[in-house]
A and B are shown apart, each in its own frame.
Chain A
Amino acid sequence: MFAFIVRRVFQAILVMVVIAFIGFSVQHSIGDPVRDMVGERVSLAEREALREQLGLNDPVLAQFGRFCWKALHGDLGTSYFHKRPALDVIVSKAPATLELVFGATVIILSFCFPVGIYTAIQPRAWFSRFVMAVSTIGVAVPVFLTAIVLIYVFGVELQWLPTYGRGVTVNVGGWDTGLLTADGLLHLILPSVSLASIMLPLYIRLIRSEMMEVLETEYIKFAWAKGLSRWRVWLLHAFKNTLLPVITVFGVEIGILFAFTLLTETVFQWQGMGFMFLEAVERSDTALLVAYLVVVGVMFVVINTIVDICYGLINPMVRIAGNP
């Protein structure tokens, strides 16, 4: 286990360096941050002076070296737009995104298992057919459209739910949370549902097909033959064995979930990292972009590590520790 963790730490560092380097080498094609910092009429010479002062005219490698040196001291640069350390900006936006992903995950997990299992056991029931039909549409409709439709139906027409933002948040130990206020929770519903709408149909279909496959296997037939209770066969024997591929997919897809927060957050004016990222692209805030890429890179390594560890817990056959 120790060797595994050490390997992962090295991987994380490598990922960070590579991402940061890519970030630096493409920053010129993202645009010129100085353009957004000054008014339209500011002369070329003034802009050039500002570029010089910010070190944007240095060779990419020199800029990259300076970035790495500062990064070793915990400084990922200063956002041009926010005029604060980039890491501070990202950390201040992280709770919003994490709560949104949490909300979506809760919705996905609480629906995908019961519905997935039911549709596998009763494939011919009208409810199963209905779910399959809806899930096809669900996979196909872009999240942007789902979000707008939800806003118009529940926000504008019915006026049940708020249309934008996070509502009232409270600060608990530096974490700005909307989970502890009624207003904050109401604001969370529409964005979470939109975000969940991408993954939920996929999981239901995945669990269903895996489960149906397992139900055909020899050992399930043997379990029936033994006269075990229905619930014991379905849940303990069949369902447990459908979990493995589901977890693999979940590990990969959680990254995609984060990617989709970009769209969801923009539509709902949800002040998280995804929104911040898109704004940074529009404003050519390259310092913030590079820092964001590095942070996201680390997050992915951590998520994948957790998934790998979970894997071993569920299926001892693929245990990682000690294996070459």
Chain B
Amino acid sequence: MKRVIMVCLALSLVLGGTATAEMKTLRLALASDPETLDIQQQLSGNMLEFSHWVFDPLVRYAQDMSFEPRLAEKWEQIDPLTIRFHLVKGVKFHSGNPFTAKDVVFTVNRMKQSVDFKGLFEAFETPVIVDDYTVDIKTNKPYSLVLNMATYIFPLDSVFYTGTDEKGQPKDAVVKAGYSFANETLPSGTGPYRCTFREQGVRMELERNPDYWDKNSPGNIGKVILTPIKEEATRVAALLSGDVDFIYPVPPQDFDRIDKDPKVNLFTYTGGRIITVQMNQNRLEAFKDPRVRQAINLATNNVGIAEKIMRGTATPAGQLSPKGYAGHDPALVPQYDLAKAQALMKEAGYENGFEASMIATNNRYVNDEKIAEAFAAMMAKINIKVNLKTIPKAQYWDEFDKQVADFQLVGWHSDTEDSGNFYEFLAMCPNKETGYGQYNSGNYCNPEVDRLTLACQTETDLTKRTAMLKQIEKILYDEAFCVYFHWQNHSYGAAKGLDVLPIVNVMNFPYIGDLVWN
């Protein structure tokens, strides 16, 4: 390991020394750092951010959620099961190996071996090489999300990751627990930065790739030093004192402070993570009645929560899909009407209310504990007495799976950036065998929603598909299948001169390769 670091350091000095001389160094502080160096071993926000620094995807999302060509310069559908990707020519990995179609094949096959990715790539066949710079990505059924999935394909250096390492293990092994070549070796990607040093949890150093293929990238940061700072107050203090230049996330309680300080800027951007509370119909008879579920939604002042508790850092939601997603319907707005809620409760025969237990996390989502407390207080207005218990995330999910409470809080971000993913995990009938409805602890079950969601998976006509997604969203809204709170916004604090807005997006992966420091 040490030797690898030394070699890479030496290499970066020789190769990068001159090119990066006049470029700036960015000191970046995040809540946590990438879990591993193997980008296909763990699927997490941290790892995807890291992938965008050191690797490039075939395509990526632009701010308007359209697809932006990266290593694939163009693509076309050649039959219902195949999309042909034309790759950028003349791209080199950090190791010096040329990037060709074989690396795409290697990468997709490796993802199909990885526990975290195999679910996402279930529909994918081994890609077929047409020539060095053309590759056909094939699926085993007509599949509407091939491009969405292509944002996950960050081609690895197949030469670099093939063979056996010093310990006699295959270099391409994907290992969850313990040593593997890819977990411990500074990676070789095509990305704007090469990783030159990493001490897990302490520090990571990235140097600008002097031979970066994308000559149009405006980025002028020569070096990035990433330090994780877990404690929110310390992270903010480090920015305010000038010890670091760029932090995220920014805790809501410090928004004013950062906004007022003339040396730093605050940026926020709409995020895609929805916060909801599920009502377990198998535990509580009352939740089977749509009127009760609607009353609960009507009694929840989620606009108030977004303003008072989230201090404007959240967008109140009346549906699962955030703006920009195919299923988003602007007509489905959050409602708050206490009188109507009370009337509905009376109509359903629960005028005197009932008692319900509730669990929520206290360190997973922004202000999750406060949101849950506010919700419990609001429920009192329609005579539902909520017994709330908050639990740290390490213990929460086991309790969640066991469905120990009537109300259960859950946040969800669609990892395909498509509405369908919300329905598959949160709204479809729970089914242990197919895995659908895995996070539907409310046990809401509507065959029509199931049918439409499955149809959307294979519908490649986008207009028809969008109409179906909107139809599902409408059914869920009308039936009030869960309590909608809000979509969490992303927040960034940066030193003056850092042009942050052009590089942020719904996924919270700021493209630091394109970051400009004036």
Contacts and interface: CB of A to CB of B under 8 A. Distances in A.
Interface stretch (A126-134, A160-168, A310-318): A160-168
A31 B394 contact: yes
Interface stretch (B126-134, B232-240, B299-307, B340-348): B232-240
B241 A155 contact: yes
Contact of A37 (B42, B118, B202, B394): B42
B324 to A, nearest CB: 21
Contact of A44 (B200, B229, B241, B438): B438
Contacts of B116: 38-39, 42
A315 B398 CA distance: 55
B228 interface: yes
Contact of B395 (A31, A39, A82): A31
Nearest to B228: A269
B115 A46 contact: yes
Contact of A151 (B180, B237, B395): B237
Contacts of A282: 363, 392-394
A156 B241 contact: yes
B42 A39 contact: yes
B176 interface: yes
A156 B242 CA distance: 8
Nearest to B233: A148
Interface in A68-98: 78, 80-84
A40 B364 CA distance: 13
Interface residues of B, number: 47
A269 B229 contact: yes
B227 interface: yes
A54 interface: yes
B9 to A, nearest CB: 15
Given A37-B42, A282-B363, A42 B119 contact: yes
A102 B35 CA distance: 31
A314 B411 CA distance: 61
Interface core residue of A164, A266, A281 (most chain B CB under 10 Å) = A164
A287 to B, nearest CB: 9
A240 interface: no
A173 to B, nearest CB: 15
Interface string B397-426: 110000000000000000100000000010
B163 interface: no
- Looking at chain A, what size class is its interface with the partner chain? 35 or more
Interface string B209-235: 000000000000000000111110110
A159 B241 contact: yes
B96 interface: no
A81 B42 CA distance: 11
Contact of B237 (A83, A155, A281): A155
A163 B179 contact: no
Contact of A41 (B230, B242, B393, B415): B415
A30 interface: yes
Interface string A25-44: 00001111001111111111
Given A54-B177, A159-B241, A282-B363, A39 B43 contact: yes
A229 B512 CA distance: 72
Contacts of B241: 155-156, 159, 162-163
B169 interface: no
Contact of A164 (B176, B178, B243): B243
Interface in A267-324: 267-269, 271, 275-276, 279, 281-284
A163 B237 contact: yes
Given A164-B238, A281-B394, A282-B363, A83 B227 contact: no
Contacts of A36: 394
A80 B177 contact: yes
B332 interface: no
A17 interface: no
A163 B229 CA distance: 11
A32 B399 CA distance: 11
A284 B398 CA distance: 12
Contacts of B183: 83
Interface core residue of A29, A53, A165 (most chain B CB under 10 Å) = A165
A202 interface: no
Nearest to B234: A164
A164 B393 CA distance: 25
A266 to B, nearest CB: 6
B176 A38 contact: yes
B35 A42 contact: no
Interface in B347-396: 363, 392-395
B195 to A, nearest CB: 17
Contacts of A284: 394-395
B119 A50 contact: no
A50 B35 contact: no
Interface in B46-100: none
B294 interface: no
Contacts of B119: 41-43, 46
A82 B183 CA distance: 10
B497 interface: no
A260 B202 CA distance: 21
A4 interface: no
Contacts of A151: 233-234, 237
B395 A30 contact: yes
B282 interface: no
30 contacts: A31-B398, A32-B398, A37-B42, A41-B43, A41-B425, A42-B115, A44-B432, A46-B118, A46-B119, A50-B176, A50-B177, A78-B178, A80-B177, A81-B35, A82-B200, A84-B179, A156-B240, A156-B241, A162-B241, A163-B237, A267-B233, A267-B234, A268-B234, A269-B229, A271-B202, A279-B201, A281-B394, A282-B363, A282-B394, A284-B395
Given A80-B177, A269-B227, 17 more contacts: A30-B394, A35-B398, A38-B176, A39-B116, A41-B119, A43-B119, A50-B176, A50-B177, A78-B177, A81-B35, A83-B178, A156-B237, A156-B240, A163-B243, A269-B228, A269-B229, A279-B230
Interface of A: 29-32, 35-44, 46, 50, 53-54, 78, 80-84, 148, 151-152, 155-156, 159, 162-165, 266-269, 271, 275-276, 279, 281-284
The 4 residue pairs across chains A and B that have the minimum distance between CB atoms: A39-B43, A31-B394, A39-B116, A155-B241
